[in-house]
Amino acid sequence: MKGAFRQSMGWLHTWAGLVVGWVLFFMFLTGTLGYFDAEIDRWMQPERPLTAAAVAPAREVAFALDHLTKEAPEAARWFVGLSGDRSPDLRVFWRGPPGPDGARGKSGSAQLDPATGAPTRYRETGGGQLLYRLHYRLHYLPATTAYWIVGVCTMFMLIAIVTGVIIHKRIFRDFFTFRPRKGQRSWLDAHNALSVLALPFHLMITYSGLIFFAYLYMAPVVAASYGLGPDAQPTFFDELFERNGTSPPAGTPAALTAMGPLLKQAEDRIGAGAIRFLNIHNPGDAHAHVVIAGGTLTPSRAPTELTFDGTSGALLDVSNNRSAAMSTYQTLLGLHEGLFAGPVLRWLYFLWGLVGTAMIGAGLVLWTAKRRAKIADRLGFRLVARLNIGAVAGLPVAIAAYFWANRLIPVAIEGRAAWEAHAMFIVWAAMLLHAFVRPSGRAWVEQLWLAAAAFGLLPLVNALTTDRHLGVTLPAGAWDLAGFDLTVLATGLGFALAAWRIGRRRAQSERRADRAAWASAPSRPEAAE
Amino acid sequence: MTVLAALTLAIFGFAALALSMHKHHRDVFGAPPTHARRLPLRVAGWVLLGLSFAPCIAQAGWAIGIVLWLGLLTAAALAIVLLVTSLPSAKRRPRARGNPSA
Amino acid sequence: MRAERISLAFRIAAAVLGGYAFAAAASIWLSYVLPAARADATLTGLLVSFALFAAAIVWAFAARTARCAWLGLLAPTLLFAGLAWLAAPNGAS
């Protein structure tokens, strides 16, 4: 029985991984880049000032309210996001009152310069945020469709992890084992090492990934307690987040209380400089409420919230305690997002993500390495082999193309943000085509060299098109910007090394095949593909 | 600074654990670990890994500290894998004639 | 060969459909019997549901036969569904 169990788990592991491996590779790579979304945002808007001085929260709030009073005086809710570590802009958002038929009010938003309060005028770009969103929102698909695809793939990943742990023999004995240059064995070693060395991360990121849209995937559980009506889910979330503090507008106008004292009270409680955002419900109405949120970031995500009466300024409520279920939920999501991570931990998250991405890539290549001898001529094998190239080597090229497009598409072009993304997908499609058209071995080497060039030359493109290149950013100590160029350079070198070694090994095996062919003449050798 | 301390402890911890294993000890010292060596190496390895936990909590509190520790463990383990892989395998070293354990 | 394919198809169906049904039923039952506020209990049900689903899928492929896979999932699903129906708070479906 043990043997049959292991065999069936091995089968399940292989198929769960293979069927959605390429989507998972995409999700992992874009998600990993997402940990540096703010830094990538910075690099993709070189018009930003090189360094930005900190602005007092009271001033930022004043700027924001100026803008909001002008743009959306009749709004039901104003949101003010203070500038901070992960977002250099002052962000405002508003939602209008609900329509007569109960439809959600219209919304609007703006990014303001925290120093002047004026709307920012940087080049339009999806930035790092777009890359990050790709990993769960995909592209060119309606939101719910994307969430379902991503959810199914994540479930497959969970099964792959669980079965992987079940079938892995000698986890401890082989913990440090990696035997390079031994073909299939090396790929297995790599896949194993990468899986085990970051196993807590893989498990956490996968399970928490499912939790984000659990209300969708496991809708029957919500429906069982909240019914099937259209407001079942909104009611569930309102109850969960205890969003019953705000009352509907009174209809009588009343001046919004001064923000200064409220901000001071908040900072007294949660620490100076710790305020992150404000929500102002029914501004200008007698039933206005101001909720100030902030506090040190931890994995459990939820900020401390102080609720004030909007006209008198009286402190009404301080939220802090959450149920065990909510804490677990928030912590899982918080660990996934890693927003609490400082610079060191953020790099570690990035490392974990790369390990996960490489684990999936190694698994995909392992599948072909293991079966090449036996079924290399079958359609299924050829499909997998070619998709591997297009995904593992081609996707990085496409991502580099996204950055090239950011520098090369003229700033004034309408819709340039969308076109940056199109560039990425067009290049990816080209890489997939290339992978199917070229001989398999050569396709790998060519795409790896392409990736090496695409990343390695990016700092040069940066220098030729902007003044935010290494020559400027290194002396100025602008580490976010310099770090991007340096990382991209290192990535290019990494791909170059891989391309060189694989190219050399192919040339060696081709020479060996030629010698064998000559030695066994007069029979003609089979093509080495 | 504390992060560096934690990372160093973790690297040495994994190094000790690696050395307690047959193959890796043989690659470094030419022979597998004796019984007398294996247990102390194992204990030392686990103790060092455990010690690396403390600076992480001191630096960042319990919640973030645990995550930081796990991240450093991954980085340290990867470093040891690369180090151990770069050692020439003792199997391929020429054996002295008549001495099967050299 | 064909019989194997059909058997495999049944197993996959058991894993996906039966597994999902089991996870949903058990999670709903849990959300009903937990002594917590409705929203928190529902949330807890959601949190554990995927672990249950994963366990069910592993079972479906570890079971000796495809029929065994189905029965092994159908029985607990019906059990939990019945218990949930009995434990349902007023007004919930």
Question: C32, A211: Cβ pair inside 8 Å?
Answer: no
Distances from the Cα of A280 to the Cα of A69, A97, A523, B75, C13, angstroms:
12, 13, 83, 44, 50
Residue B94 has what pLDDT? 53
The two counts, helices (H) then strands (E), for chain B are 4, 0
Mutation target to probe the A interface, by most A beta carbons within 10 A, among B46, B66, B67, B91 is B67
Question: Taking a contact as any Cβ pair under 8 Å apart, which residues of chain A between 431 and 470 contact chain B?
Answer: none
Cβ neighbours of A220 in C, within 8 Å: 24, 28
**Packing angle, helices B53-86 and A199-212, rounded to 10:** 120
Contact B63 A198 (CB under 8 A): no
What is the model's pLDDT at position B91? 60
Contact in structure between A137 and A143 (CB atoms under 8 Å): yes
| DSSP bridge partners of A275 | A294
| Confidence at residue A527, expressed as pLDDT on a 0 to 100 scale | 47
Tens digits of residue pLDDT in A130-171:
999 999 999 999 999 999 999 999 999 999 999 999 999 788
- ipTM of this complex prediction, to 2 decimal places: 0.95
Whole-number Å distance between alpha carbons of A361 and B81: 19
pLDDT for res A529: 42
Residue A214: helix, strand or coil by DSSP? helix
A201 pLDDT higher than 90: yes
Considering only alpha carbons, which residue of chain A is nearest residue B70?
Answer: A200
Give me the total of CB pairs closer than 8 Å, taking one residue from chain A and one from chain C: 99
For testing the chain C interface, which of A166, A206, A225, A333 should be mutated: the one with the most C CBs within 10 Å?
A225
Task: Give the pLDDT of residue A525.
Answer: 52
The pLDDT-based confidence of B80 (bands split at 50, 70, 90) is very high
Q: Do B77 and A175 touch (CB under 8 A)?
A: yes
Q: Which of A22-31, A252-261, A377-386, A518-527 comes out lowest in average pLDDT?
A: A518-527
Q: What is the mean pLDDT of residues A164-182?
A: 87
> Which chain A residue shows the shortest CA-CA distance from C46?
A214
Choose from A348, A355, A357 for mutation: most chain B CBs within 10 A: A348
Res. A70 pLDDT band, cuts 50 70 90: very high
Instruction: Check: CB of residue A153 under 8 Å from CB of residue A24.
Output: yes
Task: Report how far apart, in Å, the C-alpha atoms of B102 and of each of A404, B33, B34, B35, C72 are.
Answer: 56, 13, 15, 18, 57
A-C interface (Cβ pairs under 8 Å ≥ 3): yes
List, edge to edge, every strand of the sheet that includes A304-309.
A107-112, A90-95, A77-81, A275-281, A289-294, A304-309, A315-319
Query: What is the pLDDT at residue B27?
Result: 86
Share of chain A above pLDDT 90, in %: 67
Q: Two tokens at A78?
A: 């104003």
Calculate mean pLDDT across residues A55-61. 92
Report pLDDT for B90.
60
Q: What integer is the mean pLDDT of A105-111?
A: 88
Q: How many CA atoms lie within 13 A of A312 on its CB side?
A: 6
Considering only alpha carbons, which residue of chain B is nearest residue A297?
B64
Torsion angles phi and psi, residue C29, rounded to 5 = -55, -45
Contact C82, A222 (CB under 8 A): no
Convert the pLDDT of each residue in A40-51 to its tens digit.
Answer: 999 999 999 888
A261 or A527: which leads in pLDDT: A261
Is A154:A210 a contact under the CB 8 Å cutoff?
yes
Of A188-192, A314-318, A331-335, C68-72, the poorest mean pLDDT is in A314-318
pLDDT in tens, C16-68: 999 999 999 999 999 999 999 999 999 999 999 999 999 999 999 999 999 99
Q: What is the pLDDT of residues A443-483, one digit of tens each?
A: 999 999 999 999 999 999 999 999 999 999 999 989 999 99
